[in-house]
Amino acid sequence: MAEREVLVYPDPRLKEICSPAEIGSEATNNLVQDLIDSMYGSGHSVGIAAPQIGVCRRVAIVDVSHNKLGKKHNHGLVVLINPEIVESSGSKSMREGCMSVPDYTGNVERAREIVVQFTDGDGNDQVIRCKGFEAVAIQHELDHLDGLLFLDRVTNPKTDIFKRKG
């Protein structure tokens, strides 16, 4: 479809809790394609969620396979429609960035391993186990569906948020 403009914090639409997406609808299929086009079009992103392009639906995509941190453990392009984390374990602190918070990064603690259930872009129900960078990326994108940014997860804003160089 089309590469879409990414909303930037403090846009209030980034803080909304998203409604479920209609599986197999033309609107959902178009949204998935717009997310794919927008993520790959950015040249550097490993994920994007529907609210970041102004659509308040529970749809996100993740692909860490092109990033050095995700090369070993990934499922390629993962289209997550109405996703839910059903299991999580461990803990991992990692520096995160976000297209909607372009000037900052921050240290965020997340589960090291997750099991997520969702419907994929072909309308199939899926359950996958993810670990490492892919697990972190999926948790980051799913937060967007609940109106959360990585800034909301930073333990100490004074010591764990960093201005991007550049």
CA distance 121 to 117: 13
Q: Map out the domains of the chain as residue ranges.
A: 12-163
CA distance 90 to 129: 13
Give the model confidence (pLDDT) of 37-59 as tens digits.
Answer: 999 999 989 999 999 999 999 99
Cβ count within 10 A of residue 51: 25
CA distance 143 to 141: 5
What's the predicted TM-score (pTM) here?
A: 0.97
- Averaged over successive runs of 10 residues, the pLDDT of the chain (166 residues) comes to 94 98 98 98 95 98 96 96 98 96 97 98 98 98 98 94 89
| Cα-Cα end-to-end distance for the chain | 31
Q: Which residue numbers are catalytic?
A: 141
Q: What is the pLDDT of residue 165?
A: 84
CATH classification code of 12-163: 3.90.45.10
Answer for the pair 84, 118: CB distance below 8 angstroms, yes or no.
Answer: yes
